[in-house]
Amino acid sequence: MEITDKHRKLLADLEPAKIPWRRLTIAVDGGDGAGKSTLARFLSWQLGMPAIETDLFLRAHAHEPSYDLKALAKVVEARHGLNRPVIIEGMCVLETLRRIGIEPEYRVYVEMPGHPGSDRWQARFRQYRREYRPKDQAMLFRRRPSICHAEQGAAPDRGHAGVRPRSTASRRGRGR
């Protein structure tokens, strides 16, 4: 993965939020094959916090995303119980987190233009995008193989990286 100025900006946006260590959830969302795991691992490495890949909690032989929510919640709460941050990535991650009672403070969306994802998950992911509108809740990180850079002023086939925190009013009293 090539580290660009947009990756550096994303890290700069997230760095102040993690210090001092506290309960913090960064959600990395997007379609299958878009680069969510790669970005989550990069953030994990750079920010020094673990990344949880929800694919590890997929139920076998599922025709659409179906997770072992009890096991996922146990892993996330183990980290949050220590008042520590965590990165959680996966398809339909906002819905998954809502189902285990977690509201992420930061949301990142990953997309690979021209890559619709696998046929197996397309219908479910279209429904999820309509209901949760993950792009509208996060800054975008668009990716094409080996090309990443700012969307504003960029050629149409290039991308953008960034992050936007939830509004402080919706944080339920948790400080930054």
| Mean pLDDT, rounded, of the chain | 79
Is 95 among the domain residues? Answer: yes
Give yes or no for residue 163 having a pLDDT over 60.
Answer: no
pLDDT grade, residue 135 (50/70/90)? confident
Is 173 among the domain residues? Answer: no
Tokens of 111: 């997309």
Neighbours of 81 (CB within 10 A): 9
What is the helix (H) or strand (E) element at residue 76, kind and residue range? helix 69-81
Distance CA 41, CA 34 (A): 14
Is 57 among the domain residues? Answer: yes
Burial group, residue 95, by CB count within 10 angstroms (0-12, 13-18, 19+): middle
Is 88 among the domain residues? Answer: yes
Is 23 among the domain residues? Answer: yes
| Selected residue with higher pLDDT from 76 and 1 | 76
Q: Report how many domains make up the chain.
A: 1
Assign residue 86 the CATH number of its domain: 3.40.50
Domain that holds residue 117: 5-164
pLDDT grade, residue 171 (50/70/90)? very low
Q: Are 114 and 70 in contact (CB under 8 A)?
A: no
Q: Helices 5-18 and 36-47 meet at what angle, rounded to 10?
A: 60
pTM given for the model? 0.77
Is 20 among the domain residues? Answer: yes
- Mean pLDDT on 57-79: 88
Is 98 among the domain residues? Answer: yes
Is 174 among the domain residues? Answer: no
